[in-house]
Amino acid sequence: MHRNDRVFTYGGGWLDRGGALRTDGERLAALRADERTTVLPLWRDRCLVGAEDRPVRLTGDAARRALAAADETVFLGLDDHGVAFFAADLTGHPEADAIALSGAASTLDVRRLAGRLDPPSAAAQAYARGLLYWHRQQRWCGACGAPTTARDGGHVRVCSGPGCGRLLFPRIEPAIIVLLEAPGEPDRCLLARHAGSAEGSYSTLAGFVEVGESLEDAVCREMAEEVGVAVTDLTYQGSQAWPFPAGLMVGFRATAASDEVRVDGVELLEARWFTRDDLRARLAEGRPLGRIDSIDHHLLGGWLSESA
């Protein structure tokens, strides 16, 4: 499989997602029974982890017990050795029972494991989390209200209503995230403090893509709405899976047409231009540049590493 040299957290997974296998019921049944098959158990979107906070991975009898006890299971794919990976949702069990069933020590949000898991391992856990969350939210058809059932290895749900039969697929919610640079000297980037964030906490600008809008259109609209700035020179920087619950973060750099900013005081409380020295001073004070597992951390880190 092709692997991108630039891998963000929750990306670069090693799994071949095995799209052609999803409709092969006999093959999937055989994989579920295979001694090598590995199951990633989750409980209410949380990883089941061992004593050292490493995600539990079940094989053999333990894997089969988890699959049998799960509210929903999803075929995730195959690794480079042909070993199948499944996710098992144990949400229907009390937390203590889910922990005992999987031989875990506790449950933990996958985002709490950022920095301790390599990107492919984090990708597998987030992939499992995102799909199992979607299943719990799509138990009923939005068109006719009838129950839905899983199909194709857990990658499709089908409405059971007579005369309906609507196919439901996992939804992705794309959002843009932007490192916005000032138009003149000195080199500066714009960071904002969002409503509800701590005093002195700043991050890059982001927003969801709307219906009928290109990614570039979304950048222009969001910058105008959030900080009153027109932008030029948009350049794509990369994308990041963000299945919390179903996001896809698409990173850009752009240049502001003016360094005058205006915030609405509702969504954003403040926006400031920062020089590289300003960011270095924040780092020296122990203030991180964005979440360690987020693409904005890489956008800011990349900008900071450039020559002033």
Q: How confident is the model at residue 196 (pLDDT cuts 50, 70, 90)?
A: confident
Can you give the pLDDT at residue 117?
85
Q: What percent of the chain has pLDDT over 70?
A: 97
Distances (CA, A) of 47 to 18, 58, 250: 23, 13, 26
Q: How confident is the model at residue 282 (pLDDT cuts 50, 70, 90)?
A: very high
pLDDT in tens, 237-247: 999 999 899 99
The structure tokens listed for 116 are 């301790």
Cα of first residue to Cα of last residue in the chain, in angstroms, is 38
Q: Does residue 235 carry a pLDDT above 60?
A: yes
212 phi-psi bin (left φ>0, alpha ψ -120 to 50, beta other): left
Q: What percent of the chain has pLDDT over 90?
A: 81
11 alpha carbon, distance to own chain's centre = 9
Can you give the pLDDT at residue 4?
43
Q: For residue 117, give the nearest of 38, 201, 10 by alpha carbon.
A: 10
Q: What is the average pLDDT across 39-65?
A: 95
Q: For residue 75, give the nearest of 117, 121, 16, 123 by alpha carbon.
A: 16
Distance CA 272, CA 202 (A): 9
Q: How confident is the model at residue 266 (pLDDT cuts 50, 70, 90)?
A: confident
pLDDT in tens, 131-174: 999 999 999 999 999 999 999 999 999 999 999 999 999 999 99
Q: Mean pLDDT over all residues of the chain?
A: 93
pLDDT in tens, 56-101: 999 999 999 999 999 999 999 999 999 999 999 999 999 999 999 9
Instruction: Compare 71 and 200 and report the one with higher pLDDT.
Output: 71
Can you give the pLDDT at residue 248?
95
Q: What is the average pLDDT across 100-105?
A: 96
